[in-house]
Amino acid sequence: MEKKVSLYLVPTPIGNRGDITLRALDTLKKVDTLLAEDTRTSGLLMKHYEINKSLQSFHIFNEHQVLEKLITRMKEGETFALISDAGTPGISDPGFLLVRECLKAGLFIECLPGPTALIPALVNSGFATDRFVFEGFLPHKKGKQTLLKKLAEEDRTIIVYESPHRLLKTLEQMIEYFGNDRRVSVSRELTKLHEETFTGSLEDVINHFKKKEVKGEIVLVIDGKRA
Ligand code: SAM
C-alpha cells in the first residue's frame, strides 16, 4: 500500500521565481492546506504560480501553540505543505519541531529537494565541497567569540548565514582567530539581479565590502584550516 504523507516540506525560490521544481508545484496544488511562515509573502508567491490554497500561518512565534492541533488534523487525514519565506523549510527557518512531532506521532513526512542558499554559496566559493559544516546564523553577542575561536580550528569548509549589517563586524572579529590570510567567500543576493560572489583573503574581502554599504542577503563561506 502506498504510504500517505501528512506533511511535505516544500522548498521555494531564494530570489529567482524560476527556481521551483515541477514536483514542488504539483505538491503545493495537491495538499489540503499550506503552512506558511508569512502568509502575505507566500500568498503573493502562490498567486504567481496560480495556486489557490488556504494558507495558515506557522512561524517561530506560534509553532509551539499550533503543534498539537496540527498533529490531530493530520491524524484525521488532512495533508499539509510547509513553506518558508524562501529556501528550504527547517534550514534556519521553522520546520524541525513540526517534523519531530510528526515522526513521534508515526506520521509520514517528505522533504522535497530544492532551493537553499547554503549550497550555491558553497559551490561558488571554490573551497572543498566534500566535507563542510553549516553553522546557520552566528550568535549576535554571547558566545560569538568562543564559537569563532572554535571554528578557526575547523578543517572542513564552514558556511554561515549573516546579515548585511553585521558582515563587516563579523569579518573583522574573525581576523583575531583566523588570521588575515584565511580565505573566505561572500555570496550576496544569490539568484537575484545583483548576485555577487567575492572570494579572497579575509583582508581582501573586508577591503572590498568596506567600499560601499553592504546590502542584500548574505552567505559567508570560510575555507577550512590547512595543516
Ligand atoms: N531557509 C533558507 C534556506 O534554505 O537557505 C534560509 C532562511 S534564513 C531565515 C535567511 C538567510 O538565508 C539570509 O539571511 C541569508 O543569510 C540566506 N539567504 C537566503 N536567500 C539568500 C540569497 N538569495 N542570497 C544569499 N543568501 C541568502
Q: Residue 217 Cα, ligand 1 centroid: separation in angstroms? A: 6
In a domain, 52, yes or no: yes
Give 106 Cα–ligand 1 centroid separation in angstroms: 31
Q: What is the position in ligand 1's atom list of the atom closest to the CA of 115?
A: 4
103 and 122 together in one domain: no
pLDDT at 1: 67
Q: Does the CA dihedral 93-98-103-107 come out positive or negative?
A: negative
Last residue within a domain, chosen from 111, 131, 149: 111
Instruction: Measure the CA–CA gap between 41 and 202, rounded to whole angstroms.
Output: 35
Q: Please say which residue of 111, 144, 168 terminates a domain.
A: 111
Best residue for ligand 1 mutational test, from 14, 58, 189, 198 (most atoms within 8 Å of Cβ)? 14
- The rounded Å distance from CA 72 to ligand 1 centre is 31
- Asked whether residue 227 is domain-assigned, the answer is no
* pLDDT tens, position by position, 171-204: 999 999 999 999 999 999 999 999 999 999 999 9
Instruction: Tell the residue nearest (CA) to atom 23 of ligand 1.
Output: 190
82 and 154 in one domain? no
Q: Is there a single domain that holds both residue 74 and residue 135?
A: no
Domain total of the chain = 2
HSE-up of residue 139 (Cα within 13 Å, Cβ side): 8
Instruction: Give the position, in ligand 1's atom list, of the atom nearest the Cα of 91.
Output: 1
Cell triple for residue 64? 509551539
Digit-coded pLDDT (tens) for 30-66: 999 999 999 999 999 999 999 999 999 999 889 899 9
- Which CATH number do you get for residue 172? 3.30.950.10
Same domain, 96 and 15: yes
105 and 123: one domain?
no
**What is the distance of C-alpha 5 from the center of its chain?**
23
Q: What is the pTM of this model?
A: 0.96
Structural domain containing residue 154:
118-222
Cα 54 from Cα 104, distance rounded (Å):
26
